């Protein structure tokens, strides 16, 4: 990247640091449909066993200090409590800004003849950090080892802020349809215990997926995901094709208008064994940033125990022709 472009990127974070820092509270993810617990606490336990996810996203590869996101989460059903529990640990960085979050969740699941339905909530801690030494100001002095921003607010030490994060959600899972609604950071909050403030706005999320069986071993899943803070809205639409339950792939679009159209999504994955599934996505950008970026890459690894915990497995059903 040229020094000019690097300066512009850093300047954005300088301007943010002078007041409240508003981070991208929910990182972009092209593989969210395979890791629904990441954005909705009510999905915990609906994988029917202990489910562990490890995800990594490199956004706008090729740009210096471009956004990166990593998350580890796990959730499992709690049959005796008629619910499920989960935990998320994630880290996100963009330029000189980084944040780390830890969340725990519980959701109540009730069964109906036409599907499973779940209400969940999560609570955690979010820490934001800004590398003050690497900031650049128009009047600053940066010669050799000297770093002087010439600013009464900005220092050269790392600025840090801590706040609570929370979420609520609903999820419905049926044979051919599943959908969910969730809200992150409801109500909105801000904190300013140090030299800068951390602000978390409320982000609403809607997810819908239809499971269309073309043949016994071939399924098509149209997916729609909408995220909004009531000021700005982003839409993701996907079509995933699954063959024999082991191999899948698809294409999608992030954006719905001339101003919001951001990238083309290409997704592929394979079920390596009954417990382990590997997912990959590539985002080809449409915006002007594509001229200096190599696109975005994302990897997700899911491990599912595929075994009931706390309850014995039911014996295999044997049909007796005398009782048919």
Among all chains, which residue has been given the structure tokens 């803070």? 229
Query: Whole-prediction pTM value?
Result: 0.82
Cis peptide before 308 (omega within 30 of 0): no
Of 10-19, 52-61, 290-299, which gets the smallest average pLDDT? 10-19
Does position 141 have pLDDT exceeding 80, yes or no? Answer: yes
- For residue 53, the 8-state DSSP code is E
Does position 77 have pLDDT exceeding 80, yes or no? Answer: yes
Query: What is d(CA 114, CA 218) in angstroms, rounded to the nearest whole number?
Result: 23
- Grade residue 317 by pLDDT with cuts at 50, 70 and 90: very low
Residue 66 lies in a domain: yes
Mean pLDDT of 278-297: 87
Closest CA to 180 of 303, 35, 71: 35
Q: What's the pLDDT at 192?
A: 61
Residue 283 lies in a domain: yes
Is 310 strand, coil or helix? Answer: coil
Q: What's the pLDDT at 26?
A: 64
Residue 36 lies in a domain: yes
Q: Which domain holds residue 257?
A: 3-306
Greater confidence (206 vs 142) lies with 206
Residue 318 lies in a domain: no
Q: What's the pLDDT at 24?
A: 42
Residue 301 lies in a domain: yes
Tokens of 269: 């994955």
Burial class (CB in 10 A: 0-12, 13-18, 19+), 290: middle
Residue 225 lies in a domain: yes
Does position 14 have pLDDT exceeding 70, yes or no? Answer: no
Query: What is d(CA 37, CA 30) in angstroms, rounded to the nearest whole number?
Result: 14
Length of the chain measured in residues:
324
Q: Mean pLDDT of all residues in the chain?
A: 84
Greater confidence (91 vs 261) lies with 91
Does position 205 have pLDDT exceeding 70, yes or no? Answer: yes
Of 11-20, 214-223, 282-291, which gets the smallest average pLDDT? 11-20
Residue 75 lies in a domain: yes
User: For the domain that residue 33 is a member of, what is the CATH number?
Assistant: 2.40.160.40
Residue 41 lies in a domain: yes
Q: What's the pLDDT at 197?
A: 63
Task: Count structural domains, the chain.
Answer: 1
């Amino acid at each position: 990247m040229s020094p000019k472009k690097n300066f512009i990127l850093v300047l954005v974070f300088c301007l943010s640091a002078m007041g409240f820092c508003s981070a991208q509270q929910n990182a972009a993810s092209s593989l969210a449909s395979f890791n629904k617990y990441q954005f909705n606490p009510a999905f915990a336990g609906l994988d029917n066993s202990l489910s562990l996810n490890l995800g990594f996203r490199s956004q706008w590869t090729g740009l210096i200090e471009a956004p990166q996101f990593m998350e580890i989460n796990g959730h499992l059903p709690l049959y005796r409590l008629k619910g499920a529990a989960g935990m998320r640990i994630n880290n996100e960085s963009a330029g000189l800004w980084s944040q780390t979050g830890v969340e725990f969740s519980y959701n109540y699941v009730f069964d109906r003849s036409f599907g499973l339905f779940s209400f969940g909530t999560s609570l955690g801690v979010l820490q934001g950090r800004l590398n003050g030494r690497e900031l650049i100001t128009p009047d600053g002095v940066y010669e050799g080892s000297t770093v002087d921003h010439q600013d009464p607010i900005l220092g050269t030490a790392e600025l840090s802020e801590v706040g609570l994060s929370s979420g609520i959600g609903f999820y419905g899972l049926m044979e051919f349809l599943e959908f969910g609604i969730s809200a992150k950071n409801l109500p909105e909050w801000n904190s300013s215990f140090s030299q800068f403030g951390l602000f978390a706005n409320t982000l609403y999320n809607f997810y819908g997926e239809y499971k269309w069986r073309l043949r016994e071993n071939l399924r098509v899943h149209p997916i729609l995901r909408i995220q909004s803070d009531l000021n700005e809205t982003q839409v993701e639409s996907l079509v995933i094709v699954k063959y024999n339950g082991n191999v899948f792939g698809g294409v999608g679009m992030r954006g719905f208008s001339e101003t919001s159209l951001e990238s083309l999504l290409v997704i592929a994955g394979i079920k390596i064994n009954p417990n382990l599934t590997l997912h990959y996505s590539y985002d080809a950008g449409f915006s002007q940033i594509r001229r200096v970026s190599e696109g975005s890459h994302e990897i997700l690894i899911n491990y599912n125990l595929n075994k009931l915990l706390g309850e014995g497995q039911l014996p295999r059903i044997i049909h007796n022709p005398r009782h048919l």
